[in-house]
Chains A and B, each alone.
Chain A
Amino acid sequence: MTVISALLVVGSLALASALLMGYAAARFQRERLSLVDKIDALLPQTQCGQCSYPGCRPYAEAIARGDADINQCPPGGALTIGALAELLGRDAKPLDPGRGTSKLKQVAFIDEALCIGCFKCILACPVDAILGAPKQMHTVVSSECTGCELCVEPCPVDCIDMRVVDQGMSNWRWPRPQDAPRMGL
């Protein structure tokens, strides 16, 4: 009887701890996963690699592992650094100047008269924003281009420009008011 109850106690303890550990592991896993997701959600998704990782998600993973600092993303600039600092409960710091500088949003533009259709830019584009077949001229889908510049370098005929996105009416933003005079009766 005592043996049985002892066995039962040990067994249930084992079961409980197994459950607990399994739960902890799952929970840990989930938290780690969601941390990467959370970090990734704050990155600009330019996929430019300036952070020294092959894309935003790998950089997010590196931050979550503790391998990378939070100030390595030039496209995100101070805004992204601030958001990461808040998420991770750390102090914000200036952008690591060795990675580049944050600049106005650009999109790639292929001079279709010069393009030889070599396909190299298509291979380089991390977000499949360039359309074209081998030996046919290529073109960039501006709305999908993240401005990562990765296609510029591989082009053998140097026909890809990065152009600052024009301030058209659709992407115009209302400026923050200052002490400007205004209308009213």
Chain B
Amino acid sequence: MSQTLWQFHGGLKLPGHKALSNREPSIPAAIPERLFLPLQQHIGIASRPTVKIGEKVLKGQLIASAEGYVSVPVHASTSGTVIDIGDYPVAHPSDVDARCIVIEPDGDDVWVERRVPAQCDLLGPKAVNDMIRDAGIVGLGGAGFPSHVKVNEGVENVVDTLIINGAECEPYITCDDRLIRERADEVIAGASLISRTVQAKRCIVAVEDDMRDAYAALEKVLIGDIELAKVPAIYPAGGEKQLIFTLTGKEVPCGRLPIHIGIVMHNVATAAAVYRVVHYGEPLVSRYVTVTGSVVSPRNMQVLLGTPVGDLVDQCGRPDGPPKKVIMGGPMMGIPVQDERVPVIKTTNCILVTDALERGPQMPCIRCGDCVDVCPVNLLPQQLYWYARAQDFDTAQDLHLFDCIDCGCCAQVCPSNIPLVQYFFFAKSEIAAEEEARGSADRARGAYESRTARLAKDEAERARHLQQGDIGESRAKNDRGQKKAYIQAAIERTKAKRATAREREGSPKDNATVGPDRKSTPESNE
């Protein structure tokens, strides 16, 4: 297994803390009291609820359907009753609540009827792709991009290489490691299924070189001409573009996708999920999650989607002493969780409980250039920081701000503790908002112009009618009288209505905003 490997620029050798959680076999997490299933667990358009409050659902039953091509459905992760559809906390840097379907499990965990196609080894690309889509599968490595879109691109284009990504590079996280060790056959079967579907010329399953047991497990069940690869454990080796470069020496050009250079990449857990839907008819309802850090017994768990993170912390033993920070994801790219009701979603790979990540106070940039040395994308973080801070977003974009993969290497090494990545997030979000504002201003300008033109035309029309004689005039007067009377009557009615409404609920008019008062009524939202 001697392969040529390429070495991407920069990156960091980080303490892995993997042994903390990857020794014990994974166990199923308990069914929680409540499951919170967000309608948006993927990149793209949020899904739309297909169940009503009070409805009984079975495990694997569709509860929200995809809205468009870049969207995926959501399924009930256990059997029970839908008790609410409303806004609840989710893991998001904004701390804004998001729409969730809340299920109260009945404890029986009864599956809906699972349909397995006869001869599932012979399914055509369209059939496989539809199954992937209907199973709600997204990139389980953390990106959450709908998998059927990627597979479909692979079907429609020539695929040189399919890469199955098991290079779990972020410290502390071992869910892919454990999944490979425990389900290597599913990973390989899934890889071969996807490979056949997109007609890849080569298929490589890659792990980091410190994942020895996982590699051995894969070796044992290897089939066909699937290749295995070990890549150096340098963060972010598992980044999409980094892994592609390491394995093939090819670079994905700025603003382009891997498919443009004939490459498709899926995560190992995604491959296993694809296998499970095709061979067992199981939609995506659970996943491996690493619960680690200062919990009493760190380990991996098979968690029903929608399980609150607090439940997992309790099951792995809440550390003594004052409450610690809970992070969803790893130490480099994770999101701090403020509310322990926040649910595990399709992209949740790790729950990290720790206080060890605090940094000292921020100091001015000393232009040491360390950030430049470690950036795996060859950017100039220090300059990007400068322009983001000065809100000179044009220059930041010229410096390829949007190629930044948010890996956090630059901030990690910065001796001045500058939260560089936060500045990049800030700049990216400002640019996006600006573009959005420009778009709506353009729409408003267009609407205003067409209205002005329409009014001018109407005016000309009226002038022409008036010139043709007075016929209209008396009728118009009559009309106006009638209209006035109608409006007057309506006003009276409304006044009465309003008075009764006020009596009932006080005056709702004063502190009204668009969102909150419409909670729990999904139908009225769109």
Interface residues of A (CB under 8 A from B): 40, 44-47, 55-57, 107, 109, 113-114, 116-118, 126-129, 135, 142-144, 146, 156-157, 159, 161, 163-169, 171-177, 179-185
Contacts and interface: CB of A to CB of B under 8 A. Distances in A.
Contact of A168 (B14, B96, B327, B501): B96
Given A157-B491, A166-B515, A173-B430, A185 B171 contact: yes
B494 A45 contact: no
The dominant DSSP class at the B interface is helix
Given A56-B445, A157-B491, 8 more contacts: A47-B444, A107-B514, A114-B498, A116-B487, A116-B490, A135-B486, A156-B491, A184-B331
B3 to A, nearest CB: 30
Nearest to B331: A185
Contacts of A57: 445, 448-449
A167 B96 contact: yes
B359 A179 contact: no
Contacts of B495: 157
Interface of B: 14-15, 40, 92-94, 96, 98, 171, 327, 331-332, 334, 336, 356-359, 361-362, 389, 408, 411-412, 417, 419, 422-423, 425-426, 428-430, 433, 436, 440-445, 447-452, 486-487, 490-491, 493-495, 497-498, 501, 509, 512-516
Given A180-B419, A184-B411, A44 B441 contact: yes
A118 B490 contact: yes
B491 A174 contact: no
Nearest to A180: B419
B412 A163 contact: no
Contacts of B331: 183-185
A40 B498 CA distance: 42
B448 A116 contact: no
A165 B486 CA distance: 34
B359 A184 contact: yes
A118 B487 contact: yes
Contact of A127 (B436, B448, B497): B448
A56 B448 contact: yes
Nearest to A58: B452
Contacts of A107: 514
A182 B421 CA distance: 10
A176 B449 CA distance: 36
B443 A144 contact: yes
Given A156-B491, A182-B359, A166 B443 contact: no
Contacts of B411: 182, 184
Chain A facing B: main interface SS: loop
A181 B417 CA distance: 9
Contact of B440 (A116, A128, A143, A183): A143
B512 A55 contact: no
B444 A127 contact: yes
Contact of A45 (B357, B419, B448): B448
Contacts of B362: 179
B171 A113 contact: no
A107 B14 CA distance: 49
Contacts of A143: 440
B423 A183 contact: no
Contacts of A157: 490-491, 494-495, 498
A168 B422 contact: no
Contacts of A180: 419, 422
Nearest to A175: B426
Which of A166, A181, A184 has most B Cβ within 10 Å? A184
A156 B492 CA distance: 10
A55 B448 contact: yes
B501 A113 contact: yes
A126 B433 contact: no
B451 A163 contact: no
29 contacts: A45-B440, A45-B441, A45-B444, A45-B445, A45-B448, A56-B448, A57-B445, A113-B497, A116-B490, A126-B447, A127-B448, A144-B440, A156-B487, A161-B512, A165-B514, A169-B40, A169-B94, A173-B429, A173-B433, A174-B422, A174-B426, A176-B389, A177-B419, A177-B423, A181-B358, A182-B417, A182-B419, A184-B411, A185-B332
Nearest to B493: A116
A175 B94 CA distance: 9
Contact of A183 (B334, B389, B430, B491): B334
Contacts of B433: 171, 173
Nearest to B488: A156
Contacts of A113: 497, 501
A167 B498 CA distance: 29
A123 to B, nearest CB: 10
A56 B40 CA distance: 37
